[in-house]
Amino acid sequence: MVMAIIGIVAAASTPWLITYWRSATLKAAAEELAAGLNRARQLAISQNQSVCVQVVGTRYRYRLNGCGGTIWTGPGTDATGLYRLANDVTLATNANPVFDYLGAATGATFTVRPPQGSATLKVVVSVSGRVQVTH
């Protein structure tokens, strides 16, 4: 009897658990990207020069002195300076934002998609340099 009840509860909760897992994966990736964009802003301020966040496929990297400048490598990057978002999410943007030495930026909107499902989250970089995750 107990095993039957456990089986019924497990079967009933599986769809909810899958939905929760997908939304948590998406939210974590969007927040990871927002942290990376804020890191680029701090790099621009600390280096006293512009930093471009360039999207390359499903990854991104920083370039010093604008989008045609030197590729920055540091903690968390591979040999080509690329950061990879966890859980194989896809990344797209309407523009590569450039942060100036004061922390302001050219505006951009990033779209983050999970590997499965159609849900998306947006990470918006405002011209003031503020980065926020939206729906």
* Domains of the chain, residue spans: 2-134
Q: What is the C-alpha to C-alpha distance for residues 37 and 98, in angstroms, rounded to an integer?
A: 10
Tokens of 104: 């302001």
Give the per-residue pLDDT at 57: 84
pLDDT in single tens digits along all 135 residues of the chain: 777 777 777 677 777 777 777 888 899 999 999 999 999 999 999 999 999 999 998 899 999 999 999 999 999 999 999 999 888 888 999 999 999 999 999 999 999 998 877 889 999 999 999 999 998
Pairing of strands 51-56, 98-99: antiparallel
List, in sequence order, every residue forming a beta bridge with 112; answer none if it has no partner: 91, 121
> What's the CATH number for 2-134?
3.55.40.10
Residue ranges in 88-129 assigned as alpha helix (H):
none
Judge contact between 54 and 83, C-beta under 8 A.
Answer: no
**CB of 124 closer than 8 Å to CB of 131:** yes
Q: 44 vs 3, 5, 61, CA distance in Å?
A: 59, 58, 13
CB 82 within 8 A of CB 74: no
Instruction: Give the C-alpha separation, 32 to 84, whole Å.
Output: 10
